[in-house]
Amino acid sequence: MNVADLTFLALLLPFLGAIVAPLLTRILGPNAAWALALIPVAILLHFTGFAAEIARGQVVTGGYVWVPSFNVSFSWLVDGLSLTFILLITGIGALIVLYSGGYLKGHPHQGRFFSFLLMFMGSMLGLVASDSFLMLFVFWELTSITSFLLIGFDHEREAARRAALQALVVTGGGGLFLLAGLLLLWNITGITQFSLLAAFGPAVKASPLYLAALILVLGGAFTKSAQFPFHFWLPNAMEAPTPVSAYLHSATMVKAGVYLLMRLYPVLGGTAEWQVILPVFGAATLVIGALLAVRQTDLKLMLAYTTMSSLGLLVLLTGFGAPHAIEAAALYLVAHALFKGALFMIAGIIDHETGVRDVTRLGGLRFAMPLTFAIAMAAAVSMGGLPPFSGFLAKEEIYMALSSFDGRAIIFAALAVVGNALMFAVAFAVALKPFVGKQVKTPTAPHEAPILLWLGPAVLALKGLTVALFSGTVHELITSPMASAIAGEARVVTISLVPHIGVPLALSTLTVLLGIGIYLALARFRGGIAAVLAAIGWGPDRGFDQAMRGLIRLSATVTRRLQTGRLDTYMTATFLLLAIVLIAPPFLYGELARAPVFPQDIPLHELAIMVIAAIGLVAVVLAQDRLTAIVSLGIQGFSVAVIFLLFGAPDLAFTQFMVETLAVVILALVMTRLRLSPSDHRPRRETLPDMAIALACGLGATLFLLKVTEAPFDTALSDFFNQYSKTIAHGANVVNVIIVDFRGTDTLGEIAVVMIAALAILSLVRLRAGSLRRIVDNDPDAEDASR
Q: What is the pLDDT of residue 651?
A: 77
Q: What is the pLDDT of residue 718?
A: 85
C-alpha to C-alpha distances, 554 to 443, 546, 551, nearest whole angstrom: 47, 12, 5
What pLDDT, on the 0 to 100 scale, is given for residue 214?
A: 95
Q: What is the mean pLDDT of residues 109-119?
A: 93
325-374 per-position pLDDT tens digit: 999 999 999 999 999 999 999 999 999 999 898 898 998 899 899 999 99
How many Å is the Cα radius of gyration of the chain? 35
> What pLDDT is stored for residue 776 in this prediction?
55
**How far is it, in rounded angstroms, from Cα 723 to Cα 734?**
10
Beta-sheet strands, E only, within 266-339: none
User: Which residues, listed in sequence order, are joined to residue 60 by a DSSP beta bridge?
Assistant: 78
Query: Over 511-549, what HEC string results?
Result: HHHHHHHHHHCHHHHHHHHHHHHHHHCCCHHHHHHHHHH
Cα gap 222→174, rounded to integer Å = 8
pLDDT score at 772: 56
Distances (CA, A) of 70 to 65, 139, 191, 198, 199: 10, 19, 10, 20, 20
Cβ(624)–Cβ(679) below 8 Å: yes
Kindly state the greatest CA–CA separation across the chain: 111
pLDDT one-digit tens code per residue, 491-531:
999 998 888 888 899 999 999 999 999 999 988 888 888 88
Binning pLDDT at 50, 70 and 90, where does residue 783 land? very low
pLDDT for 785 equals: 44
Assess contact for 401 and 325: CB atoms under 8 A: yes
d(CA 322, CA 411): 14
Asked if residues 186 and 192 have their Cβ atoms less than 8 Å apart, the reply is yes
Q: How many Å apart are CA 86 and CA 60, to the nearest integer? A: 13
Task: Report percent pLDDT > 70 for the chain.
Answer: 95
Predicted confidence (pLDDT) at residue 213 exceeds the cutoff of 80 = yes
Task: Phi first, then psi: give them for residue 335, nearest 5 degrees.
Answer: -60, -40
Mean pLDDT, residues 687-696: 88
How far apart, in whole angstroms, are the C-alpha atoms of residue 193 and residue 79? 14
Q: Answer whether the bond into residue 388 is a cis peptide, omega within 30°.
A: yes
Please answer whether residues 20 and 53 qualify as being in contact, where contact means their C-beta atoms are separated by less than 8 angstroms: no
Distance, CA of 31 to CA of 111 (rounded, Å): 11
By C-alpha distance, which of 313, 522, 343 is closest to 419? 313
Question: What phi, psi does 677 have (nearest 5°)?
Answer: -65, 150
Q: How large is the average pLDDT for residues 136-141?
A: 93
Q: Are 612 and 646 in contact, with CB atoms under 8 Å apart?
A: no
Contacts of 363 (CB under 8 A, 6+ apart): 433, 434, 435, 436, 437, 438, 439, 440
The pLDDT tens digits for 19-75 are 999 999 999 988 999 999 999 999 999 999 999 999 998 999 888 887 777 777 888
Question: From the CB of residue 436, how many other CB atoms can be counted at a distance below 10 Å?
Answer: 13
At position 705, the amino acid (one-letter code) is L
Say if residues 511 and 417 touch (Cβ distance below 8 Å). yes
Evaluate if residue 787 carries a pLDDT over 60: no
- Crossing angle, helix 110-129 and helix 242-250, to 10 degrees? 10
Between the two ends of the chain, the Cα-to-Cα distance in Å is 76
DSSP 341-404: HHHHHHHHHHHHHHS--BGGG---TTTT-HHHHHHHHHHHHHHTT-TTSHHHHHHHHHHHHH--
CA nearest neighbour of 457 among 247, 302, 293, 641? 247
Residue 571 to residues 294, 567, 689: CA-CA distances in angstroms? 61, 6, 13
pLDDT higher than threshold 80 for residue 771 = no
Q: How many CB atoms lie within 10 A of CB 637?
A: 18
Which has the closest alpha carbon to 126: 185, 71, 63?
A: 63
CA of 274: how far to CAs of 128, 178, 445, 667, in Å? 22, 16, 53, 68
Cβ atoms within 10 Å of 266's Cβ, excluding its own: 20
pLDDT of residue 259: 94
Of 529, 528, 525, 548, the C-alpha closest to 233 is 548
Cβ proximity of 48 and 112 under 8 Å: no
The model's pLDDT over 164-212, given as tens digits with 9 standing for 90+, comes to 999 999 999 999 999 999 999 999 998 888 988 888 989 999 999 999 9
CA dist., res. 618 & res. 455, Å (int): 88
164, 238 contact by CB (below 8 A): no
Phi (first) and psi of residue 72, to 5 degrees: -105, 135
**What's the rounded Cα separation, in Å, for the pair 267 and 694?**
55
Q: Do 299 and 343 touch, CB atoms closer than 8 A?
A: no
Average model confidence (pLDDT) for the chain?
88
DSSP structure string for 64-133:
EEEEGGGTEEEEEEESHHHHHHHHHHHHHHHHHHHHHHHHTTT-TTHHHHHHHHHHHHHHHHHHHHB-BH
Residue 60's H or E segment, with its range, is strand 60-67
* pLDDT on residue 417: 95
The Cα angle at residue 89 between residues 316 and 87, in degrees rounded to 5: 95
Q: Of 291, 529, 554, 576, which Cα lies nearest the Cα of 425? A: 291
- pLDDT tens by residue, 574-616: 999 999 998 888 878 777 666 555 566 778 888 888 888 888 8
What's the Cα-to-Cα distance from 396 to each of 252, 385, 492, rounded to whole Å? 25, 8, 15
φ/ψ (deg, to 5) at 76: -125, 155
Residue 237's contacts (CB-CB under 8 Å, 6 or more residues apart) are: 147, 151, 163, 167, 244, 245, 248, 304
Residue 680, pLDDT > 70, answer no
pLDDT band for 782, please (50, 70, 90 cuts): very low
Distances (CA, A) of 306 to 85, 288, 303, 467, 692: 20, 10, 5, 22, 66
d(CA 375, CA 461) in angstroms, rounded, equals 6
Give SS3 for 298. strand
- 61 three-state secondary structure: strand
341, 375 Cβ separation under 8 angstroms = no
